[in-house]
C-alpha cells in the first residue's frame, strides 16, 4: 500500500512586502537581497491573522481538490514552528474549524523541515494501514517572530500555508521518506525563548530569529547533498530518473547548488522563493501546489521534495505522482 497525493492547496496572505519596502525599514538594498537570496518580495499576515487562519484556507483548497469530505480524514498533521497557541495545537484548532470528526490531530515542530517530517509520519500511518486519508499542512507566520530592525534576518522570511491530502492506494505514491536531525547545531539557528526558559521583558516577549547565516548556508548545502544521495540510493535510482526537484525555499543559491549536485536543469526545479521568501514549513507544499496547478508536473513524474531547517533538521521524500 502506498500513500498517494490526491489534492493540494495553498494560501498566501494578501499583503506583499517588497525589497524596496524593506529599504525603508533597515539599511539594506534590493540588490543585496536579490543577489544573496533570490528573494524579491514576501507575503505578510494581516494584524490578527494567525497560522491557523492561513492553514484553513490551504486545507479547504486541498480537500476540495481531493474531493473528500471532512469526515473522511483519519489523521491531521500540521508542520509549524509558529503555532497560534502553546496548546491546543494548531492541528486541533484546525480540526475543529474544518468540522472534522474526532480524528487524531497534532503539530510537528521541525522548523523548515516540518512539512517533510509530517509527510513522513503520514506515509507510515497509511503504509501500515492505520489511516486511509491524511491531511498534511505546513503553515507559518514567521514574520511574527522577526525583529524588523535586524537586517540579517528580517529580509528573509514570509508567511503562508500549503496542504496536501494523502490517500491509501495500491499504485505509488510516496516511494520513500527520509528524516534526520542534529541538535548539536542548535546555536546556529534559533528562537532563543520559550515557555520553560521564560519570557523576556522585550518587544514580542524576546522572540526573534537568530541565525549565523553563513555557517547555516554551508551545512545546508552539504547536508542536502547527502540526503539527496540517500534518497536516490534507497530507491535504486539515478539522478537522471528524477523529473522534478521541489526544494525548501530558503535561498536561491542553496537551491541551485542542490540542482547542480543532481545535474538537473533549473527548468526542472520549482522556485517560489523570489515571490514568497522563506516560509519555513509552508514552502514545500506551496511550491508543490503551484507546480501541480500550473500543469507542469505530469502523472508518472518522479518528484524529489527536500528541506533543511532549524534544529538542524532535514529530510526528503521521493514521490511518484
Residues that bind ligand ACO (CB under 6 A): 28, 32-33, 36-37, 111-112, 151-152, 155, 189, 213-214, 216-217, 220, 250-251, 254, 278, 280, 308-310
Shortest distance (Å) from residue 168 CB to ligand ACO: 31
Shortest distance (Å) from residue 275 CB to ligand ACO: 17
The answer to whether the CB of 223 falls within 8 A of the CB of 247 is: no
Residue of 52, 103, 112, 154 marked catalytic: 112
Residue 222 is among the residues annotated as catalytic for this protein? no
Shortest distance (Å) from residue 215 CB to ligand ACO: 8
Residue 92 is among the residues annotated as catalytic for this protein? no
Nearer to ligand ACO, 171 or 214 (CB): 214
C-alpha cell of residue 157:
522570511
Nearer to ligand ACO, 23 or 230 (CB): 23
Residue 52 is among the residues annotated as catalytic for this protein? no
Count of residues making up the chain: 321
Among 305, 1, 242, smallest CA distance to 134 is for: 1
Residue of 19, 109, 251, 278 marked catalytic: 278
Helix (H) or strand (E) holding 118: helix 114-127
Shortest distance (Å) from residue 149 CB to ligand ACO: 12
Angstrom distance (rounded) from CA 85 to CA 170: 38
- List Cβ neighbours of 306 (8 Å cut-off, separation of 6 or more): 116, 224, 227, 228, 231, 245, 246, 247, 248, 258, 284, 314, 315, 316, 317
Nearer to ligand ACO, 54 or 134 (CB): 54
C-alpha cell of residue 62:
486541498
By annotation, the residues acting in catalysis are 112, 248, 278
Amino acid at each position: 500500500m502506498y500513500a498517494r497525493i490526491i489534492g493540494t492547496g495553498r494560501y498566501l496572505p494578501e499583503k506583499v512586502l517588497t525589497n524596496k519596502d524593506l529599504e525603508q525599514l533597515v539599511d539594506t538594498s534590493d540588490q543585496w537581497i536579490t543577489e544573496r537570496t533570490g528573494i524579491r518580495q514576501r507575503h505578510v499576515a494581516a494584524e490578527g491573522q494567525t497560522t491557523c487562519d492561513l492553514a484553513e484556507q490551504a486545507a479547504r483548497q486541498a480537500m476540495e481538490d481531493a474531493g473528500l469530505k471532512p469526515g473522511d480524514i483519519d489523521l491531521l498533521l500540521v508542520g509549524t514552528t509558529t503555532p497560534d497557541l502553546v496548546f491546543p495545537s494548531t492541528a486541533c484548532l484546525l480540526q475543529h474549524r474544518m468540522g472534522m470528526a474526532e480524528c487524531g490531530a497534532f503539530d510537528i515542530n521541525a522548523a523548515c523541515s516540518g512539512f517533510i517530517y509530517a509527510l513522513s509520519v503520514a506515509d507510515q500511518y497509511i503504509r501500515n494501514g492505520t489511516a486511509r486519508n491524511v491531511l498534511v499542512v505546513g503553515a507559518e507566520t514567521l514574520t511574527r517572530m522577526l525583529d524588523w530592525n535586524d537586517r540579517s534576518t528580517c529580509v528573509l522570511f514570509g508567511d503562508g500555508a500549503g496542504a496536501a491530502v494523502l490517500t491509501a492506494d495500491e499504485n505509488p505514491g510516496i516511494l520513500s521518506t527520509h528524516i534526520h536531525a542534529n541538535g548539536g547545531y542548535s546555536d546556529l539557528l534559533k528562537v532563543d525563548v520559550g515557555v520553560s526558559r521564560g519570557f523576556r521583558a522585550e518587544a514580542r516577549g524576546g522572540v526573534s530569529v537568530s541565525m549565523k547565516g553563513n555557517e547555516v548556508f554551508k551545512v545546508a548545502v552539504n547536508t542536502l547533498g547527502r540526503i539527496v544521495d540517500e534518497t536516490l540510493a534507497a530507491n535504486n535510482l539515478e539522478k537522471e530518473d528524477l523529473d522534478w526537484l521541489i526544494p525548501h525555499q530558503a535561498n536561491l543559491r542553496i537551491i541551485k547548488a542542490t540542482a547542480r549536485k543532481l545535474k538537473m536543469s533549473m527548468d526542472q526545479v520549482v522556485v517560489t522563493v523570489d515571490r514568497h521568501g522563506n516560509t519555513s514549513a509552508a514552502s514545500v507544499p506551496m511550491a508543490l501546489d503551484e507546480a501541480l496547478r500550473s500543469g507542469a508536473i505530469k502523472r508518472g513524474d518522479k518528484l524529489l521534495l527536500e528541506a533543511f531547517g532549524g534544529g538542524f533538521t532535514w529530510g526528503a521524500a521521493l514521490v511518484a505522482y
